[in-house]
Chains A and B, each alone.
Chain A
């Protein structure tokens, strides 16, 4: 693990290509919506990646040696004349420069009418789910021509549609349990043992609306953009437009903790609706010990919340402070009154610089933050 603070690209490969659906006369974008790692079983890395319609299983392998010293071939690979061979030798592996190869192992296609927004590997490491706006399907990693539909919220009459699925995830240890979130701010927990089609939820997590905060945009900002189980499996976090909420699986009436990501935007909702920013989907992440939560915001800011100390931190992912080993300076947004030095006012925030994707290393204090077309990797200053 490099400790210098600088990273090189390990591998780049094209996962999906644009496709054309002739039946519906529309192009299916190659844009990747989600990536999920599989646990390593050997030297190779495996991951699932998905665009709007197709999930693929990729295997990434390293090659740093190649066989050499053949009897029937010479060093350039040309076939030798058998009459010229006077002695036998044992071929050996010669070290070469590292070559990283990605090969598609499985393609799980033609199971989604709507746009896939989630994939999640099951704890049994044999099955995974893929979820689109209205349906969730269960796959076996080895079987690509069949999937089982486990959730279907499509109404008989599409005119009655008022709610879509926004995210879905399997429980980290209970292989029969998964959750899915909706555009209305609800999280449903389902048990696959109950019945094959999990339209009925076992639990529904929803916080009653605060009447003092009611506006035309209440529903839009309650739409959950991401949901993640804690590593322990005891809690889950949900990200809506303005906050991150921690839920105890044992209590579905309300969250046990709520963290405001950028409450200063509440008075700007109309403008954010107009410029479509209100529809941005932010991800959230737990740290390895489930004590910290991270999520992105605008102006290349990302936020971290410590559940124990209740302290929060705003940091910026930008080129100005990306020298290796440079310690990030906490940022502050001025929400009213006189703006202090080093504070940024809400009106100065750049809403085109949004951090939608963040990830936390499962065991180390290393985070990855995606800011538009740059990937930043930060680590705990004590680790250097």
Chain B
């Protein structure tokens, strides 16, 4: 451990074992090159996201981290290891708290945040590729792949930031990532729940609506089974204002819920009361 024991530990002779993966000629962690690259990639993403939360991140640091990420991306792309890249992104973003407090709108200059948008776009495009692949394959496979690849991501869904935040122009890249990630989760999860014969197909009803403008945070207890995208502002207010039956019916029909949903419903009721001012 670096800097750990000041008393001086007894050093054992370290040998650099030959490793066919060790393209660089040396290992920095004693791990194979690929594992180390993955680790470096993950650390870089975490650092970038952490930097984005600062009000004024160091430009030099952000640029260097970004370039390191791009370098690894290029290497993976050159090796044709896009699958690794996807899992690395999914793993990295799944592990990090993607929900960050809304950042104040900043003036266009300086814009250390936008610098990362290209990286974010790369990330987003890779994940969209993943999404497209999922859509094209049949439902069975889709369900399988989504469980595998987004297993960890789904767990964090309730903590992901609201899509509202991601719609702003000057959003940090981590927010953009969250939005894309969220869309994919929604898409794939709806694929999971869609084939229920007597359920109302929300996808068809609300496919033309864009959820990105609305703060749907308070709906998160339900999002595990309902696609976030289709609910418009009108639908939400109608659901609550015009009687709880509408929403509850829809909800109950499309999900196999336990009594947990009643508690959440009460909570939601309470929230709505606060919002509406009753």
What is the interface of chain A, defined by CB distance below 8 A to chain B?
23-26, 113-115, 133-134, 158-164, 166, 183, 212-217, 219-220, 223, 266-275, 279, 334, 336-339, 344-345, 347-352
Contact = CB atoms under 8 A, between A and B. Distances in A.
Contact of B13 (A270, A336, A344): A336
5 contacts: A26-B56, A217-B68, A270-B28, A279-B61, A348-B6
Contacts of A348: 3, 5-9
Nearest to B65: A220
B11 interface: yes
Nearest to B36: A270
Nearest to A219: B67
B4 interface: yes
Max chain B Cβ within 10 angstroms of own Cβ: one of A26, A183, A215, A338: A215
Contacts of B28: 215, 217, 266-271
A163 B64 CA distance: 8
Contact of A272 (B2, B26, B56): B2
Given A115-B59, A161-B115, A223-B64, A215 B5 contact: no
B167 interface: no
A161 B9 contact: no
Given A220-B64, A271-B29, 11 more contacts: A23-B107, A25-B106, A113-B109, A217-B40, A219-B68, A220-B68, A223-B64, A269-B28, A270-B36, A274-B43, A348-B8
A217 B40 CA distance: 9
Given A114-B110, A183-B60, A350 B6 contact: yes
Main secondary structure of the interface of B (DSSP, over half): loop
Contacts of B135: none
Contacts of B60: 133, 164, 166, 183, 223, 279
A163 B11 contact: no
Interface in B11-45: 11, 13-14, 24-29, 36-37, 39-40, 43
B78 interface: no
Given A216-B68, A275-B2, A336-B14, A164 B8 contact: no
Interface in B52-69: 55-56, 58-61, 63-64, 66-68
Contacts of B114: 158-159
A25 B170 CA distance: 15
A220 B69 CA distance: 11
Contacts of B59: 114-115, 133-134, 164
A220 B13 CA distance: 28
Contacts of A275: 2
Nearest to A347: B9
Given A164-B59, A273-B40, A348-B5, A158 B111 contact: yes
Closest 4 CB pairs of A and B: A270-B28, A159-B118, A351-B3, A133-B59
A273 B4 contact: no
B2 A351 contact: yes
B13 A159 contact: no
A279 B65 CA distance: 10
Nearest to A345: B11
A379 to B, nearest CB: 29
B71 A158 contact: no
B101 interface: no
A339 B5 CA distance: 15
A159 B115 contact: yes
B56 A345 contact: no
Contacts of B67: 162, 219
B107 A270 contact: no
Given A159-B114, A164-B60, A273-B40, A216 B9 contact: no
